[in-house]
Amino acid sequence: MGRKSNKSRRTTRKPVKSSSSCWNFLPDAGPGCHIARHDTFCSSPTSWVIEWETVDPADFSDEDNEVPDVAVDPEERTLSLCNIRDKHVVAYLTVFDTVLRGADGRELERGRTVNNQGVSQSCTTLIVLCPPFTFAHLCYLDISNEGEMLENLKIESDVQEWKKHPNPSDTHLTSVSFPFRLEGGPYLCTQGEGGQLTHFFAGNQHALDFRCPVGTPLLAVGHGTVIDVKDTNAKITGVAVSNLFEWNSVLLELDGSSKEGKGDPLFVEYVHIQGASVQVGDKVKRGQVIATSGTVGFSPEPHLHFCAYRSPDMSAPTVRVYFHSTRDPQETFLPRAGQYYDTNGLVEQDGDTATNDDVGS
- In which band, very low, low, confident or very high, does the pLDDT at 354 lie, cut at 50, 70 and 90? very low
pLDDT of res. 59: 86
Region of poorest pLDDT, from 36-40, 323-327, 329-333: 36-40
Are 251 and 312 in contact, with CB atoms under 8 Å apart? yes
Give 260-299 pLDDT, tens digit per residue.
445 589 999 999 999 999 999 999 999 999 999 999 999 9
Distance CA 337, CA 197 (A): 12
Distance CA 40, CA 55 (A): 19
Give burial (CB, 10 Å; 0-12/13-18/19+) of 170: middle
- In which band, very low, low, confident or very high, does the pLDDT at 22 lie, cut at 50, 70 and 90? low
* pLDDT value at 151 more than 80: no
- In which band, very low, low, confident or very high, does the pLDDT at 147 lie, cut at 50, 70 and 90? low
- In which band, very low, low, confident or very high, does the pLDDT at 256 lie, cut at 50, 70 and 90? confident
Give 208-245 pLDDT, tens digit per residue.
999 999 999 999 999 999 999 999 878 999 999 999 99
- Cα angle 219, 314, 124 (rounded to 5 degrees) comes to 80
Distance CA 203, CA 200 (A): 8
Which run of H or E residues covers position 148?
helix 146-152
Q: Concatenated DSSP letters for 8-65?
A: GG--EE------HHHH-B-GGGSTTEEEEE--SSS----TT--EEEE--GGGG-SGGG
What percent of the chain has a predicted confidence (pLDDT) above 70? 84
pLDDT of res. 271: 98
Q: Which of 192, 233, 210, 221 is CA-nearest to residue 318?
A: 192
pLDDT of res. 149: 63
User: The pTM is what?
Assistant: 0.88
Task: Give me the mean pLDDT over the 169-197 stretch.
Answer: 97
Distance CA 275, CA 246 (A): 14
* pLDDT value at 130 more than 90: yes
Domains of the chain by start residue, with CATH: 7-161 (no CATH), 187-347 (2.70.70.10)
pLDDT of res. 257: 47
pLDDT of res. 232: 85
Separation of first and last alpha carbons in the chain: 53
Give 76-106 pLDDT, tens digit per residue.
999 999 999 999 999 999 999 999 999 999 9
Q: How far is CA 268 from the centre of its chain?
A: 17
DSSP state for residue 109 in the 8-state scheme: P
Mean pLDDT of the chain: 87
209 three-state secondary structure: strand
Q: Which of 331, 311, 309, 312 is CA-nearest to residue 320?
A: 309
pLDDT of res. 168: 97
Residues 6+ apart with CB under 8 A from 17: 43, 44, 45, 47
